[in-house]
Amino acid sequence: MSVFQPVTQVRMTNVVVVRLKRKGQRFELACYPNKVISWREKTEKDLDEVLQIEQVFTNVSKGTLASQKQLVAAFGTDDVKDIIIQILEKGELQVSEKERHHQSDKLFQEIATLVAGMCVDPNTKRPFTVGMIERSMKDSLHYAAQPNKSAKQQALEVIRQLKEHIEIERAQMEIHITLPGKAAKQIREKLQPYVASLDDENFGAATYSATCLIDPGNFRTVEDIIKSQTKGAGTLEIASLAVMRDTEERLE
C-alpha cells in the first residue's frame, strides 16, 4: 500500500528514517530530525513529537505502508503503537551525512558541557570552561561522539579518560542528612568511608543532623545505608549537585 495523499507528502519533506529488519523484511518509521535520540534518552515521551506519521512503512521514501499481514508475521502482533516503539528503540537511525555531522557536533558539545559542569581542578576546586574540555577531548582523546549512547553516559566515560591526561576530578556533592538519635553514632560510622567531610554536625537528643560532602559516585551507597539502617526514619537531601570554589572564575 502506498501513501499518496498531498497532506502526507507535505509532512514528509523534512524526515529522518528509523529502519529495523525483522524476519527478512524491512520496516521503517518517518520521524522528525533530532527527536529519535530524545526519545531514546527518555527526554521526549510524546510519540506525536517524534513521528511524522503514526504508521509503519516498508519504504518511507516511496510512501509504502507495511500491511497488517507483514506486521503480524514479523512482530507477532498488529498493534501498530507497540511495533512503532520496538522500531524506535531497536532500529537503526538513517540520516544524511550533513545531518549526521550536525548531530555529532551537537552531541560533542553537549558532552563537553556536562563534563565541565561535573568536574573541577583537584588543586583549586575551580570548574573548567566548556572550551577547555572540548580542546582536551579533541587534542588528548581524539574523541568522537557515539550517537547510540546518551550524552551523560559518554560524559562519564570522557571524565575517566581525561584523568589520564589532565588533572580533573568529579566535583563533590553536598548533602544534608538527618538520623534518629539512638542509631546515629553507629550509622555515622558506617557512612564515614563514603563521606569526604562532615560539617555542621548537630547531636540532638532525638535526632542527629549533618551537612556532608561526598563523591557523586557514592550517593547511592550513602542513600542505601541510611534507608536500610533507619528503616525510613532517616532523611537525605541534596543541597548541591556540584560544589565548586568559584563559579565566576573558570579555568581556561
Round to whole Å and give the CA distance between 96 and 193. 51
1 has a pLDDT exceeding 70: no
Round to whole Å and give the CA distance between 51 and 38. 12
Q: Report pLDDT for 99.
A: 72
Choose the weakest-confidence range: 30-39, 136-145, 154-163: 30-39
Round to whole Å and give the CA distance between 86 and 54. 13
Higher-confidence residue: 189 or 251? 189
Closest CA to 32 of 107, 97, 83, 95: 95
Percent of the chain at pLDDT above 70? 91
12 has a pLDDT exceeding 60: no
Angle, helices 151-162/97-118, rounded to nearest 10 degrees = 60
Q: Report pLDDT for 24.
A: 92
Closest CA to 214 of 162, 164, 176: 176
Q: What is the pTM of this model?
A: 0.59
**Three-state DSSP class for 58?**
strand
- Quick: pLDDT tens for 52-107: 999 999 999 889 999 999 999 999 999 999 999 999 999 998 876 777 788 889 99
10 has a pLDDT exceeding 60: no
Fold adopted by 6-94: 3.30.1250
Environment class of residue 8 by beta-carbon count within 10 Å: exposed (0-12), middle (13-18) or buried (19+)?
Answer: middle
Mean pLDDT, range 21-43, rounded to an integer: 90
28 has a pLDDT exceeding 80: yes
Q: Which residue ranges make up each domain of the chain? A: 6-94, 97-169, 172-240
Mean pLDDT, range 16-25, rounded to an integer: 93
Q: Report pLDDT for 7.
A: 36
13 has a pLDDT exceeding 80: no
Q: What is the CATH number of domain 172-240?
A: 3.30.70.240
Mean pLDDT, range 25-41, rounded to an integer: 89
- Quick: pLDDT tens for 121-155: 999 889 999 999 999 999 999 999 998 788 999 99
Q: Report pLDDT for 66.
A: 94
Q: In sequence order, which ranges of the chain are alpha helices (DSSP H)?
A: 6-11, 35-40, 47-50, 68-75, 80-90, 97-118, 130-139, 151-162, 184-191, 219-230
164-169: Cβ within 8 A, 24+ apart = 165/136, 165/140, 165/141, 166/136, 166/140, 167/121, 167/122, 167/123, 168/119, 168/120, 168/121, 168/122, 168/128, 169/119, 169/120, 169/122
The C-alpha R_g of the chain, in whole angstroms, comes to: 25
CB 80 within 8 A of CB 55: yes
Higher-confidence residue: 13 or 84? 84
Of the candidate CATH numbers 3.40.640.10, 3.50.50.60, 1.10.10.900, 3.40.50.300, the domain formed by 97-169 belongs to 1.10.10.900
Round to whole Å and give the CA distance between 243 and 138. 27
First to last CA, the chain: 59
